């Protein structure tokens, strides 16, 4: 772990994405972080541009490249699932900690992260918002307290450009309530409901998806019984909540031994996470 007077060097993978730009801008504003690299895919129009100008925070003298060379800095990856194995490999070769916020990771990406965690510190999460991670704890408590007599539904909304559906956060919330209430994620979670004869099945948890305009993100968990309903909701008003959490995670991860860490540890929501 870095000392209090040391800045953490950070490289942003996926620099030209919505999150990548905000990560670079906020990293530039954080005195505890030094942005030393910005990477985007080969062929991207961002390659060769000044990272600061791309992020809207003024020239930094740091050009966006199409080749990830971490050099020991913490890598924050908000790109695409297909890039994750290569990112993990580059981080292992450089001995760089890796923070992954890319959602929709497939089995190959997850295997790559697990394998990398044997050599470097790895932290991947579907959502780095502090409030969303508090929502997980509240949802688990509600599912335990309310029991089988309450139906559980998850509704998520994001901007029209989001590629994966449902969101990784919605699926993670569904898994949280399943684990807390004795349901099976694989058996009881449904990703759609339509047809002429689709009555609700016992223990069912349905995840519904909206894609609307430029919405940065909203997740609602419904616990509905007969005559009453509890709603737990997180509404994002900007991507900064996610970016701030990811940068906080990067600072926390710097200098940690090899292993797979959780966002709850990085955000101080788990025991022993200081």
Query: What amino acid positions are annotated as catalytic residues?
Result: 158, 162
C-alpha distances out from residue 259 to 108, 240, 255, Å: 18, 27, 12
Relative to beta strand 218-224, strand 229-235 is: antiparallel
CA distance 146 to 248: 34
Secondary-structure percent of the chain, ordered helix, strand, coil, rounded to 5: 35, 20, 40
- Strand (E) positions, the chain? 8-13, 33-39, 74-77, 98-100, 121-124, 151-158, 189-190, 205-211, 218-224, 229-235, 259-261
CA distance 242 to 246: 6
CB 242 within 8 A of CB 228: no
- CB neighbour burial string for 63-84, b if at least 16 within 10 angstroms, e if fewer: ebbeebebeebbbbbbbbbebb
Q: Which secondary-structure segment (H or E) carries 160?
A: none
Residue 36 backbone phi and psi in degrees, to 5? -115, -5
DSSP letter string over 200-239?
A: PPTT-EEEEEEE-TT---EEEEEEE-SS-EEEEEEE-SST
What sign has the CA pseudo-torsion 55, 56, 60, 66? positive
């Amino acid at each position: 772990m870095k000392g209090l007077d040391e800045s953490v060097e950070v490289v942003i993978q996926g620099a030209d994405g919505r999150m990548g730009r905000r990560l670079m801008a906020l990293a530039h504003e954080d005195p505890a972080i030094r942005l030393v690299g910005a990477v985007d895919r080969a062929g991207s129009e961002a390659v060769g541009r000044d990272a600061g100008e791309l992020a809207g925070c003024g020239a930094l003298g740091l050009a966006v490249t199409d080749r990830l060379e971490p050099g020991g800095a913490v890598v924050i990856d908000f790109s695409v699932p297909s890039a994750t194995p290569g990112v993990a490999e580059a981080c292992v070769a450089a001995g760089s900690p890796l923070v992954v916020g890319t959602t929709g990771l497939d089995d190959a990406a997850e295997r790559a992260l697990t394998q990398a965690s044997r050599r470097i510190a790895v932290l991947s999460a579907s959502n780095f918002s502090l409030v969303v991670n508090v929502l997980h704890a509240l949802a688990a408590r509600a599912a335990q307290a309310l029991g089988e007599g309450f139906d559980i539904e998850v509704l998520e909304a994001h901007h029209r450009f989001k590629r994966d559906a449902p969101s990784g956060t919605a699926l993670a919330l569904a898994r949280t309530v399943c684990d807390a209430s004795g349901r099976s994620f694989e058996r009881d979670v449904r990703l759609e409901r339509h047809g002429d004869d689709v009555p609700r099945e016992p223990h069912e948890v349905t995840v519904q998806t909206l894609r609307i305009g430029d919405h940065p993100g909203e997740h609602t968990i419904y616990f509905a019984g007969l005559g009453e309903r509890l709603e737990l909701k997180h509404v994002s008003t900007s991507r900064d909540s996610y970016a701030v959490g990811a940068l906080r995670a990067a600072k926390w991860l710097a200098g940690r031994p090899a292993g797979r860490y959780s966002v709850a540890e990085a955000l101080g929501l788990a025991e022993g996470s200081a």
